[in-house]
């Protein structure tokens, strides 16, 4: 996706050899005009699928998922919760995720009322690195016996193993920008 | 807002005398058609203000803020972060918030790059109870020397003191549904 790559080249900042900061437009400050273009691109790529629900994870997936949902027909968004709020229903699907960014394990949870076998799910997230968050979401859809149409990622770090982890599960993956390398502070893309 | 009250009456569940669960449409599963109506209502109420930025807090404010931003002109959304991710800029505005729901204090942070004195800010959140999250966001806008156009809340629990806390700061508050009481499991509204 050309516009997205321009945003990344123009406003992304590289830290070390593997961290790409895009918090000026994607995951802290959010550029809604860009999100609309992202949403339309996901719709284009998954147009032949009868998506019934978009599943994401708090916090930075939520904005992209909500804007994207508008381009599908009557699709609700569900976000997996990371923290055990006191008022979350006790009947939940649950999976454990390891976060490299925060160097800790955490549980993600989805209320059983909001995913069912009749659902055809599009999983959306802002970043794909090692793929652990997406694998957790896939585990939850499996527990719910929902179908998965695929995974839509805004930025994939293709030099990490998230892509392989997802393809190994025979799940379709669409990443709108695939970063080949951040070595030496230079951003290069696959293709 | 009539449609919102219908959703609350139809799908809200009362727990005890003070918890209103609306996670089937507002803050776990999200009904994007409703969010669009909410966004247009916020635009109507703040149409005379030249909003430059919408500020919210992770996680459940994000979806509403992003959908709402579409009805304003070229407005970015910034969400305050609750957890100290390793890759958040160290130059942040920070405030401490007490959460009754989770019975703990936490810090909220906004990167200093994303709020400035030229900003006219609309603060958006899903719920107003004791107002602590909003007071934290107001503290952050004060540190940034930004102007505040007002606070837009989807559901206000009017029997708690959040409204007074905000009005005491001479800040405009617009709540789309004001819940007067949940006593005995019955939802009643102000007006």
Sorted by where each starts, the structural domains of chain B and their CATH numbers stand as 35-179 (3.40.50.2020)
Residues of chain B in contact with residue A85, where contact means CB-CB under 8 angstroms, are 101-102
pLDDT for position B133: 96
Summarised one tens digit per residue, pLDDT across range B123-147 is: 999 999 999 999 999 999 999 999 9
Pairing, β A29-30 against β B76-80: antiparallel
pLDDT at B102: 77
CB contact under 8 A, A79 and B70: no
SS (H, E, C) A122-179: EEEEEEECCCHHHHHHHHHHHHCCCEEEEEEEEEEECCCCHHHHHHCCCCCEEEEEEE
A133: closest CA of chain B, how far (Å): 15
Taking only the tens of pLDDT, chain A with its 191 residues reads 999 999 999 999 999 999 999 999 999 999 999 999 999 999 999 999 999 999 999 999 999 999 999 999 999 999 999 975 555 557 999 999 998 777 889 999 999 999 999 999 999 999 999 999 999 999 999 999 999 999 999 999 999 999 999 999 999 999 999 999 999 999 999 98
Radius of gyration of chain B (CA): 16
What is the phi/psi pair of residue A153, to 5°? -120, 140
pLDDT at B173 over 80: yes
Q: Is B86 left (phi over 0), alpha (psi -120 to 50) or beta?
A: alpha
From the list B24, B67, B102, which residue is nearest A66 (CB)? B67
The overall average pLDDT reported for chain B is 95
Q: How many CB atoms lie within 10 A of CB A115?
A: 23
What's the start-to-end Cα distance of chain A, in Å? 11
Q: What is the pLDDT of residue A1?
A: 96
State how far residue A32 is from chain B, nearest Cα, in angstroms.
6
Q: Tell me the CA distances in angstroms from B23 to A88, A96, A143, B175, one per residue in order.
A: 8, 22, 20, 18
On the question of pLDDT at B83 being above 80, the answer is no
Strand B53-57 relative to strand B120-128: parallel, antiparallel, unpaired?
A: parallel
Q: How far apart are CA A114 and CA B163, in angstroms?
A: 32
Whole-model pTM: value is: 0.96
Coil, strand, or helix at residue A14?
strand
Is the per-residue pLDDT at B84 higher than 90? no
Interface of B with A in 85-144 (CB under 8 A): 85-89, 101-103, 110-111, 113-114
CA distance A1 to B190: 48
Q: Judge contact between B154 and B38, C-beta under 8 A.
A: yes
């Amino acid at each position: 996706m050309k516009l997205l790559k321009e945003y990344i080249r123009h406003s992304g900042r590289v830290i070390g050899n593997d961290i790409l900061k895009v918090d000026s437009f994607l995951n802290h400050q959010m550029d809604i005009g860009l999100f609309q273009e992202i949403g339309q691109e996901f719709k284009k790529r998954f147009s032949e699928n009868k998506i019934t629900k978009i599943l994401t994870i708090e916090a930075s997936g939520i904005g992209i998922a909500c804007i994207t949902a508008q381009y599908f027909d009557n699709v609700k968004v569900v976000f997996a919760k990371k923290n055990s709020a006191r008022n979350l229903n006790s009947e939940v699907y649950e999976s454990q995720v390891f976060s490299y960014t925060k160097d800790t394990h955490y549980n993600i949870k989805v209320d059983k009322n909001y995913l069912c076998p009749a659902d055809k799910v599009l999983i959306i997230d802002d970043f794909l690195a090692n793929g652990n968050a997406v694998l957790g979401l896939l585990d939850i859809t499996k527990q719910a016996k929902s179908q998965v149409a695929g995974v839509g990622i805004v930025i994939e770090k293709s030099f990490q193993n998230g892509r392989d982890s997802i393809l190994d599960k025979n799940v379709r993956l669409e990443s709108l920008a695939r970063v080949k390398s951040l070595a030496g502070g230079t951003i290069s893309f696959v293709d």
